[in-house]
Structure 1
Amino acid sequence: MISTLLFHEILFGLSDNKVLVAAIQDHAQRAHSIRSFSLVISEQLERARCEHWLIIEALQTGDVDRLAQLCGDHLKPSRDTYVAHYQLRDSQKNAF
């Protein structure tokens, strides 16, 4: 089974824009801890796995609009987890 990190590395590596790929990899490494935190929940992991297959299908069929929608939706759980933890940290900091 392919790891989620390897899946994303392969996906981004499909781009001919090496500067963009390097920037994405840099940001992916910076965000890895919060992204992986959301994947410890089995439902989230299964959702991500299913989304990976849908992304592959969109790539195979050349459905760029579907691919863009899927990729945007795929990012939301990690974004939401990051925002929730940031707000929690901020509220705890202000409690003292």
Structure 2
Amino acid sequence: MADTIDHSDLDHEGIARALEEDIIFGRLAPGARLTEDSLLSRFPVTRHFVRQALVQLEQMGIVVRERNKGAMVRTLTPDEVRQIYEVRELVQRQAALMIPLPAPQALIDELLDIHREHGEHIESGFLRGVHETNDRFHLKLFGACGNKYLVQTIELYMRYSLPVRANSMADRAALDISHSQHRLMIDMLGGRDNWLLAQLCVDHLQPSKRRYIGLVDAG
């Protein structure tokens, strides 16, 4: 698949976005090396921009840089995945428990709009759109808890788990299940059962985690 990024006026953020897409959609596998020279041959920019892009990706948690070894796409061990998801489960459960129910109709309407867009991207196979609307949905949902620091933690661990989540991006059946669970979450916002909503938010995390760990163990 060709790059979807316009290279005509690139800065370090544009390079980071292009590489993030490659990682999300499997064009760059976990452990793949990202040398400055190879990136310079791909992007018409200075070495300074390439280095800034690698720093940005490292801060996002999807690239690791080692002294005298350069940068590579982050690889997660099964134990690291379990630990990351233990934190995700804790913070997302807590956020769901804190959402005032029934939720305002304005929030429900906004989530329905995002949900509709998410479904359209699944149908058209636009994976960048699927990824972005998925993240928007969850951050909007958990943002209703009213604790910005909790939401920032959720967003941080969403980034840490990107290699895990990206692994299911090309699986249409997995996307359809995720999409249907989003709709259930919206429906629950009209009720009063925070515990049921919180459990669904935790259950929603499990398929990607199990799939990634299974693939690593099998490899």
- Tell me if both proteins adopt one fold, taking TM over 0.5 as the criterion: yes
Hey, which of these two has a bigger chunk of helix by percent? 1
Structure 2 stretches lacking a partner, 5+ long: 1-116, 119-132
Is 1:10 aligned with 2:140? yes
Matches within 5 A, 1:68-79: 68-79=198-209
Please state how far the C-alpha of 1:87 moved relative to its aligned partner: 2.6
CA RMSD of aligned residues (A): 1.6
TM-score, normalised by the number of residues in structure 1: 0.81
Larger radius of gyration: 2
| Distance in 2 of aligned mates of 1:12 and 1:45 | 20
Asked whether 1:26 is paired with 2:26, we answer: no
Q: What whole-Å deviation, never above 9, does each CA across 1:39-85 have from its counterpart, x for those lacking one?
A: 31111000000000001111121221220221121011121123224
Per the TM alignment, residue 32 of structure 1 is displaced from its structure 2 partner at its CA by: 1.7
| Distance of 2:191 and 2:166 partners within structure 1 | 29
Number of aligned residues = 89
Give yes or no for contact 2:188–2:197 (8 Å, CA) kept in 1: yes
The match for 1:39 among 146, 151, 169 is 169
Any stretches of 5+ residues in structure 1 without a counterpart? 90-96
Counterpart of 1:51 in structure 2 is 181
Pick which of 54-63 and 31-40 moved more: 31-40
Answer with 45-54 or 65-74: which moved more. Answer: 65-74
- For residues 144 and 214 of structure 2, the distance between their equivalents in structure 1, rounded to whole angstroms, comes to 32
TM score, norm. by length of structure 2: 0.38
Secondary structure of residue in 2 paired with 1:35: helix
Q: Distance in 1 between matches of 2:169 and 2:199?
A: 20
Q: Counterparts of 1:17 and 1:11 in 2: how far apart (Å)? A: 12
Cα distance, 1:24 vs. partner?
Answer: 0.7
1:88 positional shift: 4.2
1:84 corresponds to 2:214: yes
